[in-house]
């Protein structure tokens, strides 16, 4: 069904409603209208990395882990599987009349905010720090969720619009101040891609203000950019209880009726919360018109018709047996394996399981189900922790010893007497083992959403880059045994790994993220060499927070790989494999670029193919991610360093040489001026074709020199 067809049907149906009925439909928990045979509908459902909070579902790796795959086709396929399960669950439970929260087909995902600061607790919900990577992966997930059928399989939602990435503790009253250049260069591109290219059906406003206006009633963001410049035709939803913040925290209105009226008039169609209960009072007070209410209601019913909720759809026959089926569970493990990033390997991995008699597995996340799942997760019927994955994989002749070693963290009210109650056991396990797998990290109780976790530190945000004290004491003690150690890091954000980098007996470091319900199997596959690691960091791992601006400073100066002034501990885009590749050659066809001329609008509509020849110099099959970065050599408007402008995952057999073609958009040659407009401001550019960033630190770590391509426009 086309949008025009759906809108006409919506206009007809909404035209039959009374004012009271129309107003009732703008709540997230829309009641039934029995006289028109309209069932109740709850707009709130979640699908960050699987159908969430509604019982059984495949729990895929957390979003930040999916970003580490650098694979838009894989991310799209995850979206297809997630939306298939959402349809299967909807079909089944609606037959029983259950239309409650988390049961609908409007999925409030993906989160395409930029992970600009490693302290942000919700950063692991995002697709990383780079606007290009986030744009491509976010749009891919939207396409996967929505499908390409006659109807939408589910309706995706790009959130949180916009300029939103902490701090969590003050998000309800905070004003994020960003220049027009930073907004258009960093904070808005992923939303633009989701709206203009992927045709996302919904956009969610953030809690905070941006440059003075609340994001759920923002003239520039909602009216000028979203509906105006980008031509968005879907519906706009508030973050939950965000409109209440207008009068309680932002103080931009005086009453709840004024808050409801302001949000509605600026284009917020559905309220997650209870503020729109007061719309009729706002109408009676002359703050809104019936036309305002009708317009929003038509937006919402257009979406419902596009989902086929009244006329039926090709997805109505999807059976419940698709929920957490074997195909989806197996794919979740595959994604987890391709997401794990090998940061360090002193010629130690992979481990020959037949040559090791005793493996010690130590750490608070080693046998933790919570550490597998991140936040906004479903309930799996089966979990495989790292300990269990190793136990399942080794043979009968290998002994696996285990100790929790320490608590995940020490609660402030916990007696210090129990601080080291597992440490002696951990030392015994290490001393009796040939090698140790040390599993440190966090979980959703230590980094997550304000008010949504049991976080005891900073309302969901991290206060620093350090592992909790209890874990650092464990790490130091185990390192001091001198046994060879593989460190597995189960976090969704940057941590300080200097202690592991400096320890000679920490032979390898694997960033395992929150790898999904059966992520332990994927880890074991990498540990023992069944699979070669191939993930790349979608974030920068910094040496210290001292090099970053204040958390509340939304200027991009000094932040992320594009603007940072110091050397990274581990750079964005970095990740090792068990093989060795070389970039033999690279070139670009600039014919389309030159034909487009110097007009920004013309350049935006064309692309240039970069051809890269890459060779697997090793004797084992691997996967690599070819990355293209661009540096503007002549413009004062350019980012400080360089920017990712293309990437492609490629499988290479032992000794294989392959030609990879990567289209680079003409947009990549444009800069943003101080007004946020794209301009061609230079004629000299350098492209770098490799498997990492072209900076000195990246090249040193991965040992692969990128090939430079000079381009003159």
**pLDDT tens-digit profile of 153-191?**
999 999 999 999 999 999 999 999 999 999 999 999 999
Q: Which residues of the chain have pLDDT under 70?
A: 411-419, 452-458
CB of 618 within 8 A of CB of 540?
no
CA distance 166 to 377: 21
Q: Which domains does the chain have, with CATH numbers?
A: 322-563 (3.40.50.1700), 581-712 (2.60.40.10)
Host H or E run for residue 710: strand 707-712
b or e along 98-112 (b: 16 or more beta carbons within 10 Å of the residue's beta carbon)? Answer: ebeebbbbbbbbbbb
Please give the Cα distance from 89 to 104 (Å, whole number).
9
Are β-strands 341-345 and 506-511 bridged in parallel, bridged antiparallel, or unpaired? antiparallel
- The alpha carbon torsion through 375, 379, 382, 383 (nearest 10 deg) reads 20
Q: Which token pair is 13?
A: 């149906």
Q: Which of 71, 239, 525, 681 is catalytic?
A: 239
β-pair type (213-214, 707-712): unpaired
CA dihedral 372→374→377→380, nearest 10 degrees, is 0
DSSP string covering 489-507: EE-SS----HHHHH-TTEE
Phi-psi region of 212 (alpha: psi -120 to 50; beta: other; left: phi over 0): left
In 602-642, beta strands by DSSP E: 607-616, 622-632
Q: Label residues 363-400 b or e (16+ Cβ within 10 Å = b).
A: bbbbbbebbbbbbbbbbbeebbbbbbbbbebbeeebeb
- For residue 668, the 8-state DSSP code is G
Point out which residues pair with 493 in neighbouring strands: none
Q: Are 328 and 81 in contact (CB under 8 A)?
A: yes
For residue 661, what is the DSSP state? E
Q: Distances from the Cα of 684 to the Cαs of 537, 627, 646, 666, 681, in angstroms?
A: 29, 20, 19, 14, 9
Contacts of 326 by beta carbon, 8 Å cutoff, 6+ apart: none
pLDDT at position 639 is 98
Separation between Cα atoms, residue 219 and residue 224, nearest integer Å: 6
Residue 224 annotated to the active site: no
- Asked whether 417 and 551 are in contact (CB, 8 A), the reply is no
pLDDT at position 397 is: 87
Displacement of CA 628 from its chain's centroid (Å): 21
**Do 139 and 88 touch, CB atoms closer than 8 A?**
no
Q: pLDDT value at position 229?
A: 98
| Furthest C-alpha separation in the chain | 79
Cα 8 to its chain centre, rounded Å, is: 35
Bridge-partner residues for 360, per DSSP? 401, 436
CA dihedral 454, 456, 462, 465 (to 10 degrees): -120
pLDDT at position 455, please?
Answer: 46
Within its chain, how far is the Cα of 680 from the centroid?
A: 30
User: Looking at residue 210, what is its pLDDT?
Assistant: 98
Contact (CB, 8 A) for 368 and 512? no
Q: Which residues contact 491 (CB under 8 A, 6 or more apart)?
A: 124, 441, 442, 447, 511, 513, 514
Q: Determine the Cα–Cα distance for residues 626 and 512; give it in Å rounded to an integer.
A: 21
Which tokens in the block code for residue 663?
Answer: 């289209």
C-alpha pair distances (Å), 456 with each of 60, 124, 406, 453, 528: 27, 18, 18, 9, 37
* Count of Cβ atoms closer than 10 Å to residue 34 Cβ: 9
């Amino acid at each position: 069904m086309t949008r025009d067809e759906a809108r006409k049907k919506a206009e007809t149906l909404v035209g039959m409603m009374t004012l009271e009925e129309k107003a009732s439909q703008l709540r997230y928990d829309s009641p039934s209208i029995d006289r028109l045979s309209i069932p109740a509908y709850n707009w709130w459902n979640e699908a960050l990395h699987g159908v969430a909070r509604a019982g059984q579902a495949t729990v895929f790796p957390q979003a930040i882990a999916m970003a580490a795959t650098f694979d838009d086709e894989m991310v799209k396929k995850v979206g297809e599987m997630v939306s298939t399960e959402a349809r299967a669950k909807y079909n089944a439970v609606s037959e029983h009349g259950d239309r409650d929260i988390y049961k609908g087909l409007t999925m409030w995902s993906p989160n395409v905010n930029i992970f600009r600061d490693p302290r942000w607790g919700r950063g692991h919900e995002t697709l990383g720090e780079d606007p290009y990577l986030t744009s491509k992966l976010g749009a891919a997930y939207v396409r996967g969720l929505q499908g390409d059928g006659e109807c939408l399989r589910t309706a995706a939602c790009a959130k949180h619009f916009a300029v939103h990435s902490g701090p969590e503790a003050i998000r309800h009253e905070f004003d994020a101040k960003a220049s027009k250049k930073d907004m258009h260069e960093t904070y808005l591109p992923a939303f633009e891609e989701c709206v203009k290219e992927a045709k996302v059906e919904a956009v969610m406003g953030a809690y905070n203000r941006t440059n003075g206006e609340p994001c759920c009633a923002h003239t520039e963001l909602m009216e000028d950019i979203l509906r105006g410049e980008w031509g968005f035709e879907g519906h706009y939803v508030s973050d939950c209880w965000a409109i209440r913040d207008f009068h309680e925290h932002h103080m931009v209105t005086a009453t709840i009726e004024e808050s409801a009226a302001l949000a509605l008039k600026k284009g917020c169609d559905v309220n997650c919360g209870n503020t729109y209960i007061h719309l009729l009072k706002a109408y009676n007070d002359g703050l809104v018109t019936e036309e305002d209410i009708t317009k929003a209601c038509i937006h919402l019913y257009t979406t419902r018709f596009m989902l086929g909720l009244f006329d039926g759809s090709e997805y109505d026959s999807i059976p419940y047996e698709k929920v957490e089926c074997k195909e989806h569970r197996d794919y979740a493990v595959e994604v987890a394996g391709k997401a794990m990033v090998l940061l360090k390997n002193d010629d130690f991995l992979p481990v020959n399981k037949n040559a090791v008699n005793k493996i010690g597995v130590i750490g608070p996340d080693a046998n933790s189900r919570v550490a597998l799942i991140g936040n906004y997760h479903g309930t799996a019927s089966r979990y495989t922790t790292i300990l269990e994955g190793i136990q399942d994989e080794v043979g009968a002749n290998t002994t696996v010893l285990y100790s929790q070693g320490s608590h995940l963290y020490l609660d402030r009210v916990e007696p210090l007497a129990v601080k080291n109650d597992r440490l002696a056991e951990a030392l015994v396990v290490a001393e009796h083992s040939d090698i140790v797998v040390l599993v440190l990290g966090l979980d959703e109780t230590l980094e997550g959403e304000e008010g949504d976790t049991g976080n005891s530190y900073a309302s969901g945000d991290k206060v620093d880059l350090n592992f909790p004290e209890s874990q650092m004491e464990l790490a130091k003690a185990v390192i001091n045994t001198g046994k060879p150690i593989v460190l597995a890091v189960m976090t969704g954000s940057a941590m300080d790994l200097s202690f592991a980098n400096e320890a000679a007996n920490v032979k390898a470091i694997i960033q395992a993220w929150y790898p999904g319900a059966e992520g332990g199997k994927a880890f074991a596959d990498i540990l023992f060499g069944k699979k070669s690691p191939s993930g790349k960091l979608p974030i920068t791992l910094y040496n210290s927070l001292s090099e970053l601006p204040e958390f509340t400073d939304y200027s991009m100066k000094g932040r992320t790989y594009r603007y940072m002034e110091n050397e990274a501990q581990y750079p964005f885009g970095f990740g090792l494999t068990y093989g060795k590749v070389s970039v033999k050659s690279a070139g670009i066809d600039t014919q389309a670029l030159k034909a487009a001329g110097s007009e920004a609008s013309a350049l935006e509509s064309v692309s240039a193919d970069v051809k890269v020849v890459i060779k697997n110099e090793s004797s084992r099959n691997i996967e690599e991610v070819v990355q293209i970065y661009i540096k503007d050599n002549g413009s004062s408007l350019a980012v400080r360093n360089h920017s990712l402008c293309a990437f492609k995952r490629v499988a290479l057999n032992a000794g294989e040489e392959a030609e990879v073609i990567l289209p680079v958009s003409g947009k990549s040659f444009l800069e943003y001026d101080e007004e946020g407009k794209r301009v061609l401001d230079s004629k000299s550019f350098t492209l770098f074709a490799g498997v990492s960033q072209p900076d000195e630190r990246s090249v040193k770590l991965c040992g692969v020199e990128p090939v430079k391509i000079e381009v003159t426009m």
